[in-house]
Every structure is written in structure tokens, then in C-alpha cells.
Chains A and B, each alone.
Chain A
Amino acid sequence: EVQLVESGGGLVQPGRSLRLSCAASGFTFDVYAMHWVRQAPGKGLEWVSGISWNSGSIGYADSVRGRFTISRDNAKNSLYLQMNSLRAEDTALYYCAKDRRETFYYGSADYWGQGTLVTVSS
């Protein structure tokens, strides 16, 4: 059974940093691309970042480029999102999602975690 478990969320002040983690199990992690998708309270879905199977291709939404960094450790079956210079508008539930393909572009997310909540507030 595919499982994705996010962690690392919490309350953080504007301008500070936070690192999210996603522990994957139940599939061959190093074959598939991965995504981070977020959802602000009461709002729709927003794609944040994607990474290919071997980290060779990475992409970010304009809203986070230059502040967030996605990475993966295939040996640990883990995905990460380093979030710097956090803003109030980054407050959201952050989902980790597995792609059906090895690349995040042209793909689709077939499995999702339950999310970790990030609240940016003073």
C-alpha cells in the first residue's frame, strides 16, 4: 500500500524558515517524480514544486521560486521542502504527492498524503 506521510509543519513567524518532510513507502520511490501541492484554508489547490525521479529536473511556482527548495533522498525514500522567508500568504496545508511518471512535467499525481499544516503568523 502506497503511503505518504508529511511532517514538519507548524506555527512560524514571517521571515523565518521551515523544512517539510515526506516519508514514502509501498512503492519504488526512486522511480517516480514527486510534488508538493498546497491549499490555503478554504481555498483551492496550488501546485508548489515538483522534482523528477533523479532530481535532474525541478520546477517551482512563481509564488515560491527563490524562497523554497525541493529535494529528495532516494536512499531514505524521502521528499523535502525547505521554505525560507515565509510570508503570511504561505499559510496552507501542504500535501506531498507521487506522480504517475518519472518526470513531474506532463504528469499527474496519483497518490497523496494527508498534509501538514503551515501557519505563518506573528
Chain B
Amino acid sequence: DIQMTQSPSSLSASVGDRVTITCRASQSISSYLNWYQQKPGKAPKLLIYAASSLQSGVPSRFSGSESGTDFTLTISSLQPEDFATYYCQQSYSTPGITFGPGTKVDIK
């Protein structure tokens, strides 16, 4: 099975900060990497699909990139509504679709 790791597991940041979250796959997953945002008590929300494609309706301050088996979610200027937990997900390995363990972003 493909293992996904995320770093950091948590971070504290201020409004306006540039935030970067990294996800690493244990083997090649091509570009089949998605990013989700989840707020407490809410269902996850798709932010980025196929490593770098912005989901419709998602603010442009969110972006995704890839380098080999390393993937990055960047929030260019953190807004109050962005404090949440972020998960990466690989959908390359079937049937073993897997999520990363999550990165919690909270207020500094």
C-alpha cells in the first residue's frame, strides 16, 4: 500500500501569513493527489485535485504543486476562515486510496 505522510502535523500562524503544508507519497502516484479542508464538526471540502487544479469556488489564495513524490499545498495569505485541518489524499493506488494523517492549522 502507498503511505502518505504530511508535515507538519500542526502549525500556528497569523492572519496574512503564507502557509505551506507538505505531503509525501511512499512511491510514485503520478499527479493523483488531492487536498481537502475540514473544519470541526463539518464534512471535508475539496480544495485542489490532480495536484494543482483548483476546485471550482475555492479562493485563489490556495494552490498546489508537486515535485516527484512530494506535494505542497500553499495558502498565500491566511484568512480567518482558513483555520482548519488539511488532508492530502492519493487516488492512484486502487483499491488502496489513502489519506494523509492531516495538518491542523490554528491561530498563533
Contact = CB atoms under 8 A, between A and B. Distances in A.
> A and B from one assembly?
yes
Interface of A: 35, 37, 44-47, 50, 58-62, 65, 95, 100, 104-110, 112-115
Given A47-B89, A59-B94, A109 B99 contact: no
Given A44-B87, A44-B101, A62-B1, A108 B46 contact: yes
Interface of B: 1, 32, 34, 36, 38, 43-46, 49-50, 55, 87, 89, 91-92, 94-102
Nearest to A112: B43
Q: Is the interface of B mostly helix, strand, loop or mixed?
A: loop
Given A61-B96, A100-B49, A114-B43, A105 B101 contact: no
Contacts, number: 69
Contacts of A114: 43
Contact of B99 (A47, A50, A110): A47
Contacts of B46: 100, 108-110
Nearest to B48: A108
Contact of B97 (A44, A50, A65, A100): A50
Contacts of A95: 43-44
B99 A62 contact: no
Given A50-B95, A65-B95, A104-B91, 15 more contacts: A35-B97, A44-B101, A45-B99, A47-B99, A58-B95, A61-B95, A95-B43, A95-B44, A100-B46, A104-B97, A105-B97, A108-B34, A108-B50, A110-B55, A114-B43
Contacts of B101: 44
Contacts of B95: 50, 58-61, 65, 105
Contacts of B32: 106
A23 B12 CA distance: 38
